[in-house]
Amino acid sequence: MATTEFVERCRDLAAQAGLAASTDQYDPSGPPSDADSLIGFFQMFRPDGNALQGLFKRFDEGESLEIRLQKLYQVAGNDRRPDGGRDAYFIVRAPVPLPPEQAEHHATVWIEGLRELASAVGRDEIAERLTPTPEVRVLEGIPPKPPKHPHEKSGLYQVVAEQCVQLTSQVAGADEHAELLKPAYYFTACDPMLRDYLLWPFYAGHAGLDDPLHSYFVLWSHGIKYRIFSEERVDVYLPRH
């Protein structure tokens, strides 16, 4: 399926659902091949995303893509806020608690997955920076804001938060729809790691890896966030219950 045809299919779904005018994010009038024209598309089908069944049926990876997308809707649930408004993004408002030892385990497996992905695409310098695997510290509560200014960013932060989020673009041979969908998936939660987890079926066969971002999705689904302020440690924050 050509990318222009896929975008038109998305527009048809929006029109059929009578949702084209119900969001201030999705732009149905953008150029047919413009990836940015799909920003906000997935938010339109909350809370369950049922109207999107079959969207990926023409792709070999269609079933896997649909399963991951349904997980996103299931975990985030209803987009209605307590004040009556609606969430602009997919937010896990009532996360199921995850034991600290499991949070540590999944954070470690996630970092190891990033190292494997870096090796698979020939970014050996990133793989070496993640060897040995950085320490994981489990904390609780609202995480501090991530570092903003260059002088505040550790080398480990730059590798994980800035370089690793570009690795999927370096997987050779992936279907062009992966790049087309990146903006739409990124703005589901403004999270590039979540974006790449959802799109992973497009990359799996070409990268030769199973699922390096599964553990990151587990953390996200339990409302857990990560922060990096040192050179050798990743902090993960459990929400208070």
3-state secondary structure the chain: CCHHHHHHHHHHHHHHCCCCCCCCCCCCCCCCCCHHHHCCCHHHHCCCCHHHCCCCCCCCCHHHHHHHHHHHHHHHCCCECCCCCECCCCCCCCCCCCCHHHHHHHHHHHHHHHHHHHHHCCCHHHHHHCCCCCEEEEEECCCCCCCCCHHHCCHHHHHHHHHHHHHHHHCCCCCHHHHHHHHHHHHHHCCHHHHHHHHCHHHHHHHCCCCCCHHHHHHHHCCCEEECCCCCEEEEEECCC
Closest CA to 71 of 205, 186, 197: 197
pLDDT digits (tens, 9 = 90+) for 162-184: 999 999 999 999 999 999 999 99
According to the model, what pLDDT value does residue 17 have? Answer: 73
According to the model, what pLDDT value does residue 23 have? Answer: 47
pLDDT digits (tens, 9 = 90+) for 193-234: 999 999 999 999 999 999 999 999 999 999 999 999 999 999
Residue 161 resides in a domain: yes
Last residue of a domain, one of 39, 61, 76: 76
According to the model, what pLDDT value does residue 32 have? Answer: 60
Say yes or no: 63 and 125 in one domain.
Answer: no
According to the model, what pLDDT value does residue 241 have? Answer: 77
Residue 46 resides in a domain: yes
Say yes or no: 165 and 234 in one domain.
Answer: yes
According to the model, what pLDDT value does residue 14 have? Answer: 87
Residue 167 resides in a domain: yes
Whole-number mean pLDDT of the chain? 93
Say yes or no: 104 and 70 in one domain.
Answer: no
Say yes or no: 23 and 137 in one domain.
Answer: no
- Calculate what percentage of the chain has a pLDDT beyond 90: 86
**Do the beta carbons of residue 137 and residue 238 sit within 8 Å?**
no
pLDDT digits (tens, 9 = 90+) for 116-135: 999 999 999 999 999 999 99
Domain span holding position 51: 3-76
- Residue 34's identity, in one-letter code, is D
Say yes or no: 154 and 210 in one domain.
Answer: yes
Closest CA to 227 of 101, 142, 105: 142
Could you tell me the pTM of the whole model?
0.93
Residue 139 resides in a domain: yes
According to the model, what pLDDT value does residue 27 have? Answer: 60
Q: Is the N-terminal amide bond of 47 cis, ω within 30° of 0?
A: yes
pLDDT digits (tens, 9 = 90+) for 12-69: 998 887 654 444 456 666 666 689 999 999 999 999 999 999 999 999 999 999 999 9
According to the model, what pLDDT value does residue 138 have? Answer: 98
Count of structural domains within the chain = 2
Residue 148 resides in a domain: yes
pLDDT digits (tens, 9 = 90+) for 68-109: 999 999 999 988 887 878 899 999 999 999 999 999 999 999
